[in-house]
Amino acid sequence: MKLNKIASVMAVMLLTSGVAIAKDQSLANFHADMDSCQSCHSKPIKVSDSETHENQQCRSCHGSYEELANEKLKFDPHASHLGDINCTSCHSGHSKPQLTCNNCHNFEIDMPFADTKEKKKWDAGWNQDKIQKAIDKGPVETLDVIVVGGGSAGFNAAISAKMHGAKVVLFEKAPYTGGNSMLAAGGINAVGTPQQKKKGIEDKVEWFAEDAMKGGRYKNDPKLVKILAEESADAVKWLESLGANMDDLKRSGGARVERTHRPSGGASVGPHIIDVLRKAAVDRNIDVRVNSRVEKIVLNDDKSVAGVVVHGRHSGYNMIAADSIVLATGGYGMNKEMISWYRPTFANMTSSNNVTATGDGIKLAKEIGASMTDIDWVQAHPTIGKDSRILISETVRGVGAIMVNTDGKRFINELTTRDRASDAILKQKDKYAWLVFDEQLVEKKKMVRGYEHLGMLSKANTIEELAKITDMNQLPQTVSAYNKYQKNGKDDAFGREDMPLNLTKAPFYAVKVAPGIHHTMGGVAIDTDSNVLNLQSWKIPGLFAAGEVTGGVHGFNRLGGNAIADTVVFGRRAGEHAAEHALKK
Ligand code: SIN
């Protein structure tokens, strides 16, 4: 093992020192040359779908991500917001490596063994014959609860089901967990928390519910909204009990008070929560299997849930039996076909979503007769970095940024709801806008450093200079007027209520933004216990759903901070009810 380790460390040194490696050398061959296939694999070779042994081998030789992090690199994939994911997510042994970061970014990073031939993707298509064969063969494993999808809703469901005594497995199709939740930048909305109390913020469950209903243009299901509001404080407490830091508070668009809870220090909420949930699952011995795509929900003759067919990267197609299934597969914001069908006007828009948001749960549920709610309601977030997939969080406006058009003029209350802000931007010249802020904001919001690092910010020492480099000739007058409104506590132009910062401290910054697909509000119809409903609005026995795969919670438009609240509140409910259903059978 020791020799093995030295050889591997040498391999890394060779790679990073630029010494040429034979062109046809793959990562697998390179390791096999050192110490046979057992450099990576067990003997006899048996690769689990999660590639657990192989990834342990990577780490035992090359070290942890922390050890591998290289501060000299401009973009260091080993210190990314994806967190502690499998090494094999990027470094494939037998096929061309691929930088997971570039699902959203365009980093130019030389990957070792980049000349390896690309192989056909294991999950490139559906195979009905293999699905049917797996069903005919019968279950190879029996569980109480199957959770489909490894974002916040899925993890919360799995942890909750396990805590209620169920034997549970979480399946995630991607090589890493996190889903869209991992990209969440805002926070979790909650009412009646110690954090609000400490800041002296008066808030009420009824206000939370009213704000969500108003934001959703009163198209939400009021029963679901009531639960979201009532259980929100407990959701924050639960996350804290699992190890999360939710100490910071801010106000999101459409909320009448500060109720968006986030990690102190300005870090993004998504990577933090996912990190906490991943560890909580490990601590509770929850079996999380990545590279495992659920292809079909199998029903008994009485139409109750019998299990699923899972397509594992290495195990192939297998039926797994369970009395309860929780769908937590997220929305369809990255499925061009579904967007074109349900919301054709958004067909060419960029998306802030993870590549995993392809509407799988909706398809699985539809196939067995589930009803859909508001399936065509798609939210455009007003501030995606122009020509990118990078979300510029609403919290940037919440903390104090102003939004101006290409002339440098404000055109809307920056804290209005997302649908209104997006519509307003699309009415401006060239259909984009700028967010403008100063150094005070950067000091408060750590995440802005990330946008700077990505080269998205224009920066200048004076507002006049910023106006010049961005061609926004009205900007100096706009900023001077805004600073007066901020000082007087009254926005005479657009009635913005919350103006925490003026724009006076150099340097000054601007970032170009345009609307992009952010959240699909519609999805599988559920009742208040997260049971999935059929076309007659009856429960499909044993089928539950939570998070963005569902419809009804957010109505026509979701408020910032309500997605994570939804995933935690309804994820926990789905897990609990799924466990109860399975265990009483
Ligand atoms: C944002 O920070 O703008 C996104 C947060 C959310 O969608 O709730």
CA gap 561, 250 in Å, rounded? 10
- The closest-lying atom of ligand 1 relative to the alpha carbon of residue 560 is 8
Looking at CATH, the fold of the domain delimited by 5-103 is given as Flavocytochrome C3; Chain A, domain 2 (1.10.1130)
d(CA 565, ligand 1 centre) in Å: 11
d(CA 103, ligand 1 centre) in Å: 19
The SS3 of residue 391 is strand
Looking at CATH, the fold of the domain delimited by 380-517 is given as Flavocytochrome C3; Chain A, domain 1 (3.90.700)
Question: What is the residue extent of each domain of the chain?
Answer: 5-103, 129-182+271-377+521-583, 186-267, 380-517
CA gap 205, 231 in Å, rounded? 9
Q: What is the pTM of this model?
A: 0.92
Cα 525–chain centre separation: 21
Write the single-letter amino acid at 289.
R
- Which of 391, 445, 511, 562 gets mutated to test ligand 1 (max ligand atoms within 8 A of its CB)? 391
- The closest-lying atom of ligand 1 relative to the alpha carbon of residue 519 is 7
- Which of 152, 260, 381, 567 gets mutated to test ligand 1 (max ligand atoms within 8 A of its CB)? 381
- Which residues surround ligand 1 with Cβ inside 6 Å? 184-186, 391, 393-395, 560-561, 563
d(CA 414, ligand 1 centre) in Å: 14
Find, among 515, 514, 539, the residue nearest to 525 by Cα.
539
Q: What is the pLDDT of residue 73?
A: 85
- The closest-lying atom of ligand 1 relative to the alpha carbon of residue 186 is 2
CA gap 261, 74 in Å, rounded? 31
Q: What is the pLDDT of residue 4?
A: 41
d(CA 484, ligand 1 centre) in Å: 29
Q: Do residues 535 and 371 touch, judged by C-beta distance below 8 A? A: yes
pLDDT digits (tens, 9 = 90+) for 426-460: 999 999 999 999 999 999 887 899 999 999 999 99
**Which superfamily, per CATH, for 129-182+271-377+521-583?**
FAD/NAD(P)-binding domain (3.50.50.60)
Q: Whose CA is nearest to atom 7 of ligand 1?
A: 560
Q: Do residues 187 and 524 touch, judged by C-beta distance below 8 A? A: no
Residues of the chain with pLDDT under 70: 1-24
- Which of 448, 518, 558, 567 gets mutated to test ligand 1 (max ligand atoms within 8 A of its CB)? 518
d(CA 235, ligand 1 centre) in Å: 18
The SS3 of residue 509 is strand
- Which of 393, 553, 554 gets mutated to test ligand 1 (max ligand atoms within 8 A of its CB)? 393
Q: Could you say which DSSP state residue 158 is in?
A: H
Q: What is the pLDDT of residue 34?
A: 83
Write the single-letter amino acid at 520.
T
Q: Is 418 a catalytic residue?
A: yes
d(CA 543, ligand 1 centre) in Å: 29
Q: How many CB atoms lie within 10 A of CB 483?
A: 17
d(CA 316, ligand 1 centre) in Å: 37
- The closest-lying atom of ligand 1 relative to the alpha carbon of residue 561 is 8
Q: Do residues 58 and 88 touch, judged by C-beta distance below 8 A? A: yes
Q: What is the pLDDT of residue 24?
A: 60
pLDDT digits (tens, 9 = 90+) for 141-183: 999 999 999 999 999 999 999 999 999 999 999 999 999 999 9
Burial class (CB in 10 A: 0-12, 13-18, 19+), 419: buried
Q: Do residues 560 and 253 touch, judged by C-beta distance below 8 A? A: yes
Q: Point out the catalytic residue in the list 251, 289, 397, 418.
A: 418
Q: Could you say which DSSP state residue 526 is in?
A: B
Q: Whose CA is nearest to atom 4 of ligand 1?
A: 186
